[in-house]
């Protein structure tokens, strides 16, 4: 049993010797390449004990000193980005024992500070989870203090000049938020009413908005706008939190399909203002789930490197009604290796285990099942504004293979899967002729006579786009 799905494409992506149609290719895009800025958004929360919060602050220092080191070595010749933040790293990654000891010195001074200790204690005692804006506020408040310690230790070890040292006054903001009174005020907001958590979220959202405006003004008024210094001094807390999201789940990529092809808006957006084409795919249906067989990277060999082969990908239906769920960060560290998970997050320096690790030790198999359910759930949700698309998507991800290169995200389909092509209302005649010519060669190569061409037209009676089969366009099977 099969089911039809539609994939809208611009003509320039389909045609030519290296075009998608000739090579039978499907390209999987990164969420940032899609038209909804909320693609891939996850509502991440942080809730844990003192052990894991201490490790998060230590991890922040670890990543910050790495960026400071890059700045010392490369200066503004190296454009720092979120990818430079080593969120997957471990203290064991330091190339020498000397550098490892230098970091132990930094983290010792940082985490033994009474202000930092009190801040961690108060955060870990919170009864409600912490969201992104609140966490960013805390990290922004400790940021300059952490930098001061980093450059003090760099100077002591002759890795940085004295001119890079920061003034003592940088910890004034930290003194405010590390106080017990500050967290008593937060508890007061939470207890005030049933909407206390929402009120707190709005408060930190407003504070973050103000901070972003001040950061923008600082950059605007600066004599020189240098990327590296901006990342180190201003942008790092925000970039760090964005980068942390990658620790939860692997990167994912998608190819979009529709269950219908009658929307004029869809033809306008994805069919190049009705001048493109719509490919009709037949998906295999198994127990009400639809699959397309594709060829791509599906393994790795120590002798051959990356290996390509055929595998089924499921067409995941987009839900336009369901609300986004939450992702518990400390219990979703699935992109890390177990040694890194344990050494950087789940155990204290004294070897005591965080309660946030209990879900793995209780049942690793159950945790893995739930983990992948959560991974797919948010990817399948879009707001109702997009419901006219009737979208399904193939999702490509890998915990073992780096798919960041676009060439690794081009998969091939079997020609038998492609059932037909719909020409748009405004598709140029010369483009139609080239599409027909390409398909004719394919049909001869695969001995097919069942391929169908359609012309899209606007039906005024039903007020939608419909398709009419071009029954004279047939290719005879030579067998």
**Distance in angstroms (rounded) separating the CA atoms of residues 292 and 312:** 6
150 — pLDDT class (breaks 50, 70, 90): very high
Longest dimension (CA), the chain: 85
Mean pLDDT (whole number) for 325-342: 91
Which pTM value belongs to this model?
Answer: 0.86
Give the pLDDT score at 347. 95
391-397 and 316-317 beta bridge pairing: antiparallel
Distances (CA, A) of 16 to 142, 411, 416, 438: 55, 18, 20, 9
Give the pLDDT score at 452. 96
Proportion of the chain above pLDDT 90, given as a percent: 60
Mean pLDDT (whole number) for 7-23: 93
Closest CA to 328 of 111, 50, 128, 94: 128
330 — pLDDT class (breaks 50, 70, 90): very high
Whether residue 114 has pLDDT greater than 70 = yes
Give the pLDDT score at 479. 47
Mean pLDDT (whole number) for 87-116: 94
**230-280 pLDDT, tens digit each:** 888 889 999 999 999 889 998 999 999 999 999 999 999 999 999 999 999
Give the pLDDT score at 106. 96
Whether residue 335 has pLDDT greater than 70 = yes
Whether residue 182 has pLDDT greater than 80 = yes
Q: Which of 7-16, 118-127, 207-216, 423-432 shows the lowest per-residue confidence on average (mean pLDDT)? A: 207-216
Q: Which of 61-65, 75-79, 299-303, 421-425 shows the lowest per-residue confidence on average (mean pLDDT)? A: 299-303
**427-463 pLDDT, tens digit each:** 999 999 999 999 999 999 999 999 999 999 999 999 9
171 — pLDDT class (breaks 50, 70, 90): low
Asked if 430 and 328 count as a contact pair (C-beta separation under 8 A), the reply is: no
Whether residue 296 has pLDDT greater than 60 = yes
């Amino acid at each position: 049993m099969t089911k039809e799905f539609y994939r809208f494409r611009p003509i320039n992506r389909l045609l030519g010797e290296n075009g998608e149609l000739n090579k039978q290719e499907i390209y999987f895009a990164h969420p940032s390449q899609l038209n909804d800025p909320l693609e891939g958004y996850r509502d991440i929360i942080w809730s844990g004990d003192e052990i894991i919060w201490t490790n998060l602050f230590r991890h922040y220092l670890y990543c910050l000193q790495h960026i400071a080191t890059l700045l010392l070595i490369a200066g503004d010749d190296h454009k720092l980005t979120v990818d430079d933040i080593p969120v997957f790293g471990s203290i064991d990654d330091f190339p020498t024992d000397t550098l490892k000891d230098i970091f132990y010195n930094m983290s010792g001074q940082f985490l033994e500070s009474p202000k930092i200790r009190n801040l961690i204690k108060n955060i870990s005692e919170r009864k409600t989870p912490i969201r992104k804006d609140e966490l960013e506020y805390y990290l922004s408040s400790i940021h300059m203090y952490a930098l001061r310690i980093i450059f003090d230790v760099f100077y002591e070890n002759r890795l940085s000049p004295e001119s890079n040292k920061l003034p003592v006054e940088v910890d004034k903001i930290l003194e405010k938020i590390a106080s017990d009174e500050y967290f008593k005020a937060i508890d007061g907001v939470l207890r005030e009413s049933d909407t206390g958590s929402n009120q707190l979220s709005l408060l930190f959202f407003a504070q973050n908005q103000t901070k972003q405006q001040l950061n923008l003004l600082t950059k605007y008024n600066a004599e020189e706008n240098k990327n590296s210094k901006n990342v180190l001094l201003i942008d790092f807390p925000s970039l760090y939190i964005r980068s942390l999201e990658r620790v939860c789940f692997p990167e994912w990529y998608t190819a979009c399909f529709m269950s219908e092809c009658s929307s004029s808006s869809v033809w306008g957006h994805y069919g190049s203002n009705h001048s493109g084409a719509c490919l009709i795919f037949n998906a295999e249906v198994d127990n009400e789930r639809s699959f397309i067989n594709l060829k791509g990277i599906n393994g790795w060999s120590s002798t051959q490197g990356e290996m390509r082969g055929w595998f089924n990908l499921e067409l995941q239906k987009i839900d336009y009604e369901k609300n986004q769920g939450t992702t518990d960060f400390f219990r979703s560290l699935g992109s890390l290796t177990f040694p890194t998970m344990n050494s950087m997050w789940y155990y204290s320096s004294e070897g005591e285990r965080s309660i946030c690790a209990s879900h793995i030790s209780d049942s690793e198999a159950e945790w893995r099942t739930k983990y992948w359910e959560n991974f797919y759930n948010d990817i399948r949700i879009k707001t109702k504004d997009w419901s006219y698309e009737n979208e399904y998507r193939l999702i490509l991800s890998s915990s073992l293979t780096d798919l960041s290169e676009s060439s690794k995200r081009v998969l091939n389909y079997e020609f038998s899967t492609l059932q037909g092509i719909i020409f748009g209302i405004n598709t140029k005649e010369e483009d139609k002729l080239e599409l027909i010519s390409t398909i004719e060669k394919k049909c001869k190569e695969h001995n097919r006579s069942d391929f169908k061409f359609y012309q899209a037209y606007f039906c005024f009676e039903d007020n939608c786009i419909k398709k009419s089969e071009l029954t004279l366009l047939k290719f005879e099977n030579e067998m």
